[in-house]
Amino acid sequence: MKSGVDKLAKIGFGGGCHWCTEAVFQSLKGVEKVEQGWIASEGMYSSFSEAVIVHFYPEIIPLEILIEVHLRTHKSTSDHSMREKYRSAIYVFSVAQQNKVDSILKPLQSEFDDALITKTLPYKAFKPSEENFRDYYYKNPEKPFCENFINPKLKLLLSSYNAYTKTEELTHLSK
């Protein structure tokens, strides 16, 4: 990886279970760290919702790819009853980042049959998950939850985003 911390960027993603979201982003090249927990924004989005903070190298994995992966690995067009716990959001750390995210989201809408409900929201606060829940997938890949809910997302990465996937960590999926 790159040695300069100044080249590392971060962004927050929420949409589904943070075990799933964490595993998806941990499986991508250029992602240095994924913090699993709950993120709060402001106003009507000030309650904490399951999410991750992704620390990444934009020169290895562009923000556009991270956003596209996020939209395709959770129900980004479904306003289901669990949306308060699983808010479909991209949490930004600056106005400039918000403008960039919004400019990426608009053209991606044409790739979905239904309207994207994913919001671009300012990051306000983070509460990390308890240690025993962090790195859940890679500690428990054989658990039924992982096999039923996370493996299909990781198989999507391998088939659609293989150039950005840490394939050596996912070899068990092809067995």
Compute the mean pLDDT over every residue in the chain, rounded to the nearest whole number: 91
pLDDT band (50, 70, 90) for residue 174: low
Q: Is the dihedral of CA 8, 99, 41, 29 positive or negative?
A: negative
The pLDDT score that the predictor gives to residue 175 is 57
pLDDT above 50 for 145: yes
**What is the average pLDDT across 56-82?**
92
Assigned domain for 46 exists: yes
Query: How confident is the model at residue 5, as a pLDDT?
Result: 44
**Is 113 within the bounds of a domain?**
yes
CATH number at residue 162: 3.30.1060.10
Q: How far, in whole angstroms, is CA 56 from its chain's centroid?
A: 11
> pLDDT-derived band of residue 35, with 50, 70 and 90 as boundaries?
very high
Q: Report yes or no on 2 lying in a domain.
A: no
Query: What is the C-alpha to C-alpha distance for residues 41 and 166, in angstroms, rounded to an integer?
Result: 31
Total number of domains in the chain:
1
User: Whose CA is closest to 137, among 13, 19, 36, 14?
Assistant: 19
Which residue, 72, 60, 53, is CA-closest to 11? 53
Instruction: Enter the pTM of the model.
Output: 0.92
Is the confidence at residue 4, as pLDDT, over 70? no
Would you state the pLDDT for residue 115?
94
Percent of the chain with pLDDT over 70: 95
Range of the domain at 111: 7-174
**What mean pLDDT do residues 37-44 have?**
96
